[in-house]
Copies of this chain bind each other. A is one copy, B any other.
Amino acid sequence: MDLREQLNIHGTTGEGLKHWLADIPLTELLNGWDSLTPQEELQIFMGLNLATKADLITELSYSQQETLITSLSAQNARQLLAELEPDDLTDFLQAVSPEVRKSVWNNMSEESRKESLFLLRFDEDDAAGLMTPRYLAVRAAITVSQALNFVRRNAKAVEIVYSLYVVDELQRLQGVVDLKTLLSADDSLTVRQIMDTHYISVREDTDQEEAARILETYDLVSLPVLDSHNRLLGLITFDDIIDVIREEHTEDTYKMVAMQGKAERYLDTSVWGQVKKRVPWLIILLLLGTITTSVLDHYEQSILGAAFLILFIPVITQTGGNSGSQSATLMIRGLATEEIHTRDVVKVMLKEIAVGLLMGAITGAVIIARTILLPPGVGIYPALVIGASLSFVVLFSTVIGALAPIVISRLGFDPTVMSTPLMSTVIDVCGLTIYFETARLFLNL
């Protein structure tokens, strides 16, 4: 039963609605949200309790957030905005239209405005762009018992209570005490005695993906962000890092099929926005691909001498492209997860030559069998020549596919530029040359 049907059963206001929504899982709301009208969205939203409202709104797209917030009364909007975390609120302020921003700003508390102004100083793509300015900080001289009392009085004000940060009078980070250590420690010890001075932190201008990798390596719930004087600016929490990892995943996937730009919701972008994202690489690859036109023109004589060669052009380019993309992707992913390093180049090459020889032999045998057994029949000797060419193309593509990302990475560039389509285009040109040269050799053209 979808949300609309349930809304009809439980009524659009009153106790029935509240009762139904008190137990509703957030995932159910999110799955059905897109199919609701703005009026239905508002009816359901008003039936939720404040905490669920805040949870729901941060999971919606910015355009959906905007629709909702602008349809709330001033008082309801104020209550909701007070419930949002400062980092989510600041992201929202940056995303909405100027009019909505103004009205939201007017409904924010004085403290929230200060926090947002502080957060807006930092670049969205830096570590500081992810942080919340609310954390629990104490001095090193106090006792465990005093620190615990401090935590108990202030826990409600912060997003995540997991670590206690020890700062000096200039707000410089001296050490970190995780709550587990604090709770397990003797009341009479001082914070200085139990704090970890080898804490892990990032700078305000550390790249977000680098911050993600650090939080991941050390299994941290939160990561302190420091300025160049070691002053504590705020915290990045694990949930924001998971979002960074997901976005990175989407952007990597787009790069693999030669699309550029940020991860955006497909349904939120315009037709022209989609074309701008997709057509530039399509044109570049098209122009690069026309080199094959010259290659084919060059081998015109061979083609006229053995017309059956034409029939296998797409099979040769496609299979070469596939095997090249496979090894390129293994390298790109291995380099990204730091399982492969550029210094492993010799080890990788030897392995890929062996893999390429085997895969070349297998695919060559398959195409020979296929060509002999099924129409269009071209005879046994031509079939053997095509099989041999395909083997060379697969070997070449496999090795080049692995080598290119490592070399690009060693030169200091991002190996993901060697996307699947670029790989295929390069291999089309080289593969056709190998194909016709092999044919010329064996067929005496």
Chain A residues engaging chain B, CB cutoff 8 angstroms: 22-23, 25-27, 30-31, 34-35, 55, 59, 61, 151-152, 155-156, 158, 160-162, 179-180, 183-184, 198, 200, 213-214, 216-219, 221, 238-239, 241-242, 245-246, 249-250, 252-254, 256-259, 265-267, 271-272, 274-275, 278-279, 281-283, 285-287, 289-290, 292-294, 296-297, 300, 303, 307, 310-315, 317-319, 321-323, 325-331, 333-334, 337-341, 343-344, 347-348, 351, 354-355, 358-359, 362-363, 366-367, 370-371, 374-376, 394, 420-421, 424-425, 428, 432
A to B CB contacts below 8 Å, 22 in the list: A23-B198, A27-B214, A30-B217, A30-B338, A61-B339, A161-B183, A238-B238, A254-B330, A257-B328, A258-B326, A266-B334, A266-B348, A267-B334, A267-B340, A279-B359, A279-B362, A281-B322, A286-B315, A286-B370, A290-B374, A297-B311, A314-B314
CA distance A303 to B310 in the complex (A): 10
For A265, the chain B residues whose CB sits under 8 A away are: 334, 339
A31 adjacent to B322 (CB under 8 Å): no
For A31, the chain B residues whose CB sits under 8 A away are: 338, 341
Rounded to whole Å, the gap between the CB of A340 and the closest CB of chain B is 6
CA distance A311 to B285 in the complex (A): 16
Rounded to whole Å, the gap between the CB of A342 and the closest CB of chain B is 12
Q: How many copies does the complex hold?
A: 2
Given contacts A217-B27, A375-B294, A376-B297, contact A319 B359 (CB under 8 A): no
Rounded to whole Å, the gap between the CB of A104 and the closest CB of chain B is 22
- Classify the interface of chain A: helix, strand, loop or mixed: helix
A285 adjacent to B238 (CB under 8 Å): no
Given contacts A266-B331, A267-B344, A290-B374, 18 further A-B contacts (CB under 8 A): A35-B343, A55-B218, A152-B184, A155-B179, A160-B180, A219-B239, A250-B337, A254-B333, A256-B329, A259-B326, A267-B347, A278-B326, A287-B370, A289-B319, A293-B311, A300-B307, A314-B314, A318-B425
CA distance A292 to B319 in the complex (A): 12
Given contacts A271-B351, A292-B314, A317-B314, contact A337 B282 (CB under 8 A): no
For A254, the chain B residues whose CB sits under 8 A away are: 329-330, 333
Rounded to whole Å, the gap between the CB of A301 and the closest CB of chain B is 12
B322 adjacent to A296 (CB under 8 Å): no
A256 adjacent to B420 (CB under 8 Å): yes
For A394, the chain B residues whose CB sits under 8 A away are: 282
CA distance A116 to B237 in the complex (A): 31
Rounded to whole Å, the gap between the CB of A65 and the closest CB of chain B is 14
A289 adjacent to B310 (CB under 8 Å): no
CA distance A179 to B178 in the complex (A): 13
Given contacts A358-B271, A358-B275, contact A366 B314 (CB under 8 A): no
For A23, the chain B residues whose CB sits under 8 A away are: 198
Rounded to whole Å, the gap between the CB of A220 and the closest CB of chain B is 8
CA distance A356 to B354 in the complex (A): 42
CA distance A358 to B318 in the complex (A): 26
Question: Which chain B residue has the least Cβ–Cβ distance from A198?
Answer: B23
CA distance A329 to B257 in the complex (A): 7
CA distance A152 to B181 in the complex (A): 9
A286 adjacent to B341 (CB under 8 Å): no
For A347, the chain B residues whose CB sits under 8 A away are: 267
For A241, the chain B residues whose CB sits under 8 A away are: 242
Rounded to whole Å, the gap between the CB of A124 and the closest CB of chain B is 20
CA distance A34 to B421 in the complex (A): 32
For A183, the chain B residues whose CB sits under 8 A away are: 151-152, 155, 161
For A200, the chain B residues whose CB sits under 8 A away are: 25
CA distance A411 to B55 in the complex (A): 32
Question: Which chain B residue has the least Cβ–Cβ distance from A216?
Answer: B242
Rounded to whole Å, the gap between the CB of A384 and the closest CB of chain B is 16
Given contacts A238-B238, A250-B333, A279-B362, contact A290 B325 (CB under 8 A): no
Chain B CB within 10 Å, residue with most, of A30, A155, A213, A432: A155
